[in-house]
Amino acid sequence: MNFNELKTFVTLVETKHFTKTAERLYISQPTVSLHLKHLEEHFGQSLIHRHTFNKTIEISEAGRIVYRHAKEILHQTVRLEQEMDELEGITRGTLRIAATHTIYEAMLEQMIHDFLVAYPDASVDARVMNQEQVEQALLHHEIDLGMVEGPHHSHQIEALPFATDRLRIIGHESLVLEQATWIYREEGSAARFALETWLATQAIVPKRIITVYSNRLIKQLIANGTGISILSERLAGTLLDSNRFKTHDDSRIDQRVFQFITLKGETTRLSHKWMKEHSGSS
């Protein structure tokens, strides 16, 4: 068993495909199979179940155990490499981050630019997820740092505020709250939770709901008069200043705080530098 074999197995579990694993790691497919064989021989158990009919794989119970520990080993290896680089005054490596949709769409472009200007030898792997997905990715060592817009839900996570935001209820001025189509974000998103809470306080039961997975699409649907929704001030932009659109009483919606989240005691050096670079973002 070696580092590369563990890395191959982790990638295989996440892609569920031998060819995709080979492509992602820039190795041959026979090498993927060889690494898996060595691990199975080492542990004396099958780590995956192969389905010949549809060419998919399924991780075994033993494989889940290996995967969980392999993720932790790879994470600790990244931390080791970064700390050794620090001794030489070098900042390099890839920072794996995930942000909720509002942060990703409204802030991340400038944040990445500023970080890479400050640390030109570093790189960034940025993903967009909802709040629940960001937390799970962090807990499973799939990312190094998360950026979320609501409180976290795990004692294993610590948070650092870096910016504030306000959600607004907005729609075309002709739409009536009780009769309008309401535009929801997907389950697990902080915006959906805030909207559902607000509707409950107003005793409004939507006649029709549509669900989308993008704040930018929500903005477009508001703009063309399709329905009413909740949207960050950072993304609403000119809609808030137009007489064609109406904002509804949002006094019961608290200002929200954007937060960096990391695993307690396991924050990587690159994560520290990212948070330092962007603490107090406007």
165 within 8 A of 149, measured Cβ to Cβ = yes
User: Of 154, 123, 143, whose CA–CA distance to 267 is shortest?
Assistant: 143
**Rounded to an integer, what is the distance from CA 71 to the centroid of its chain?**
17
Assess whether pLDDT exceeds 60 at residue 119. Answer: yes
Q: Supply the pLDDT for residue 268.
A: 87
**200 CB-side CA count, 13 A:** 7
Q: Supply the pLDDT for residue 145.
A: 96
Residue range 23-39: average pLDDT? 89
Q: Supply the pLDDT for residue 282.
A: 59
Assess whether pLDDT exceeds 60 at residue 148. Answer: yes
Q: Supply the pLDDT for residue 140.
A: 86
Label residue 19 by pLDDT band (50, 70, 90).
confident
Q: Supply the pLDDT for residue 74.
A: 84
Assess whether pLDDT exceeds 90 at residue 279. Answer: no
Assess whether pLDDT exceeds 80 at residue 208. Answer: yes
Which of 41-50, 84-93, 176-185 is the most confident on average? 176-185
162 within 8 A of 260, measured Cβ to Cβ = yes
Q: Supply the pLDDT for residue 81.
A: 80
Q: Supply the pLDDT for residue 172.
A: 95
24 vs 145: which has the higher pLDDT: 145
Tokens in use for 59?
Answer: 């991780």
Assess whether pLDDT exceeds 70 at residue 54. Answer: no
